[in-house]
Structure 1
Amino acid sequence: MKAINIQQFGTSEQLKLAERSIPNMQAHAVKVRVYAAGVNPSDVYTSTGTYAVVPELPYTPGLDGAGIVEEVGEAVTHVNVGDRVFIAASTQGLCSGTFAQYIVCDAAFVHPLPAHITFEQGAALGIPALTAYRALFDRAELQQGQSVLIHGASGAVGLQAVQMAKAAGAFVIGTASRTQGKELVKATGADVVLDHISAENVEALRDATNGKGPDIIIEFLANVNLQTDVEVVAKRGVIVVIGNRGDITVNPRVMMQKECDVRGMILWNATADEYAALIKGVTTLLEEKVLQPVIGQAFPLEQAGAAFDAVMAGTYNGKIIVTID
């Protein structure tokens, strides 16, 4: 089969298209012919060898994907040969890597894909959908009628978070930096779209929330925004940090005055039971047709390195994927 093969940690230049053997099947595994794979920042960090998870070399990257079931292990009952499915693996090693024509994956991470969702959209689920759902409903404990600020809403996670929060009955405020991104956030369902919150436009945020500030903030770049988040969040509000790229100085006195909560989140901490609940929540939203992943750009498999570069550059709104012939 064709697959991306990483033999050495480093830059995107290490992503080489190669011929590899199709992995062997096991009793609790599913073999999938993959037609699209999602590219996540964690995939890029892992390929450098500096991430928390360091796979054994050589390896094929990719945790998210979508395709058709080719074979099921004797212990698998929830999917069958010929089913359309999406793959949402929680860590490297549990699947053979979705940047390939075929994968063999632990059956727990293979799920039915509704007919109205394309393979490309299916590849955009996985980490983005589960992250958005966990942040909103597990960590922030979102309730109907609350206001939610999604700070950086034009990315893969942010756009799905907008759709989920709106479906839950929240008042949704999204931010983006470019005109196209703002238009996309609005079209996805946000009630209000603003520039990234700063001292210059904080009054617009207060106006949108009748002066109280958002009840919940979903934060993708805490090292830049956390101090501002603390200042603008509603009293007893919740800030969920799901992205960070450095250190920051924060004045805890403001947290004391607000009695707000700052809660970290990382998807890998979900237990097996929590993962199952996340999948159930996401698949329910898919079936109800309120969750529609947005594709920013698709690259062919042989240009996987360019897809990695695009993710880190933040060039596109929505999800970056690779398509696999």
Structure 2
Amino acid sequence: MMLLLCRFASSCRIGSSLCRDMKAVRLHKFGGVTNFQIDTIPVPTHSEDEVLVRVRAAGINPVDTYIREGAYAILPKLPAILGKEVAGVVEEVGSNIDNIKKGDRVFGCLLDGGYAEYAVCKKNHVFPLSEKLTFSQGASLYVPYFTAHRALINKCHIKAGETLLVHGASGAVGMAAVQIAKAKGVIVAGTAGTVEGMEMVKQLGADHVFNHKEKGYLNNAVAAIGGQGFDVVVENLANVNLGADLTVLNQKARVAVVGSRGSVEVNPRSLMMTESSVIGVMLMSATEEEHLEAAEEILKGIEEGWVNPVIAREYSFEEVGDAHHDIIYNRGARGKLVFIV
């Protein structure tokens, strides 16, 4: 894959605003990874209610690939900088913000714009990054942990003592779900597709771990929790697993669909028998109150030590094609993929 690699332009300052250029990965056409270019463009400007962050790491997520392909409900205007989460150092602070200062380590939540050396974050969407975490871990907090929180807390209202199945627990959202659930006193069974992934899920605290490539693994999972079925399921690949999920539910169970790459056939009688619910989860649909609630919980978890993102691989911008391939086609996820900037 050929990428256009541009050199940095000189930098300058006028008052308190930057007038330097930055390097960014931009999508010029929807479709394959060859439509990415590494461009040199002006550093974005920020308003009085925003923070300019010098990005040190940017999260890579499956949703980025859907947007790149033009297969997502909300598509950006082209050319576009993708990426919904970053971590870095505050470069400039808007005049209406008094709880963040220049030089602070932060992580930020974005609509798009993370694949760049600088990103602008709204004041309620940028949070302090503890010294306990690296920048790569900071860039792994928003999409995985806020999604898992929305699925478990806002949508499924999971409670201590309930049983949870995390289908795909070795991926970024799956790992976050395991950590949040264990912090809430939930009994967790997780699945992974490799020995290494299974071991990682065990280390995160899952009570039971199974290989979802082995025949009969769901029956074994149900037996491990006493045979009553699961109260909650977090499903990362619904087009493959949802039909089977519905056969291993307890009464009034909740299935949170956080990922799907196609259609699936299910038997509705499975839901009728248990009076269970299937709930779609979309992070971007969270209210501001829910967003801040999740942030408070994640920040608390960082300080208490149970929020601990696992990094599978770090990429350079020049490896954007590899990154987008790996996040979809690399079998046996073992954590989060990020760009180092």
Kindly tell me: are residues 197 and 215 of structure 1, through their superposed partners in 2, closer, same or farther at Cα, counting changes over 3 Å? farther
Q: In 2, Cα distance between the equivalents of 1:245 and 1:49?
A: 14
Q: Which residue of 2 aligns with 1:7?
A: 28
Task: Please name the residue that 1:104 is paired with.
Answer: 120
Tell me the residue number matched to 1:134.
150
Gaps of 5+ in 2: 1-21
Q: Flag the 1:212–1:80 CA change in 2: closer, same or farther, 3 A.
A: same
Which of 252, 268, 290 is equivalent to 2:268?
252
* Distance in structure 2 (CA, Å) of the matches to 1:271 and 1:127: 15
The AA in structure 2 aligned to 1:320 is L
Trace 1:48-59 onto structure 2 (pairs within 5 A): 48-59=69-80
Paired residue type of 1:72: V
Specify the code of the residue in structure 1 equivalent to 2:226.
N
Please give the alpha-carbon distance, in whole angstroms, between the structure 1 residues aligned to 2:26 and 2:202: 39
Native 8 Å contact 1:64 1:86 kept in 2? yes
SS at match of 2:98: coil
Task: Report the residue type matching 1:112 in the other structure.
Answer: P
Residue pair 1:198, 1:228 contacting (<8 A) in 2 also: no
Aligned twin of 2:88: 67
Q: 2:34 matched to 1:18?
A: no
Please, which moves more after superposition, 30-39 or 10-19?
A: 10-19
C-alpha distance in structure 1 between counterparts of 2:37 and 2:246, whole Å: 44
2:174 is the alignment partner of 1:158 = yes
Letter of the structure 2 residue corresponding to residue 177 of structure 1: G
Cα pair distance change 1:77/1:318, threshold 3 Å? same
Which amino acid in structure 2 is aligned with residue 47 of structure 1?
R
String of CA shifts for 1:179-227, please: whole Å, max 9, x gaps.
1111111111111101228862333112211110111111111122112
Aligned-pair Cα RMSD in Å? 1.4
Amino acid at match of 2:269: R
CA distance in 2, matches of 1:270, 1:262: 18
From the superposition, tell whether residues 202 and 55 of structure 1 become closer, same or farther in structure 2 (CA, over 3 Å).
Answer: closer
Compute the displacement of 1:130 (Å). Answer: 0.4
Structure 2 distance, partners of 1:178, 1:285, is: 28
How far apart, CA to CA, are the structure 1 residues paired with 2:26 and 2:167?
35
Structure 2 equivalent of residue 318 of structure 1: 335
C-alpha distance in structure 2 between counterparts of 1:284 and 1:138, whole Å: 17
| Separation of aligned partners in 2, 1:201 and 1:22 | 50
Q: In structure 2, what is the Cα distance between the partners aligned to 1:133 and 1:226?
A: 20
Partner of 1:174: 190
Give, in angstroms, the shift of residue 229 of structure 1: 1.0
SS across alignment from 1:26: coil
Aligned counterpart for 1:81 among listed residues 78, 90, 102: 102
Runs of 4+ in 1 over 4 A off after TM superposition: none
Q: Is the 8 A contact 1:38 1:321 kept in 2?
A: yes
Distance 1:44 1:282 in 2: 26
Q: Shift in Å at residue 100 of structure 1?
A: 1.1
How many residue pairs are counted as aligned between the two chains? 319
Q: Secondary structure at the match of 1:215?
A: strand
Among 278, 283, 294, which residue is 2:294 paired with? 278
Gaps of 5+ in 1: none
TM-score, normalised with respect to structure 2:
0.90
2: CA distance between counterparts of 1:140 and 1:156?
A: 19
What is the CA–CA distance in structure 1 between the aligned matches of 2:305 and 2:75, rounded to whole Å? 37
The one-letter code of the counterpart of 2:83 is G
Q: Which has the higher strand share?
A: 2
Distance in 2 (alpha carbons) for counterparts of 1:9 and 1:201: 39
2:60 is aligned, of 15, 24, 39, to 39
Q: Sequence identity of aligned pairs in percent?
A: 39
What is the CA distance between 1:298 and its match in structure 2? 0.4
Larger CA deviation: 154-163 vs 301-310: 301-310
State the AA in 2 paired with 1:154. S
Contact (CA 8 Å) 2:193, 2:213: kept in 1 or not? Answer: no
Cα distance in structure 2, aligned partners of 1:188 and 1:282:
16
**Which of 203, 206, 209 is 1:193 aligned to?**
209
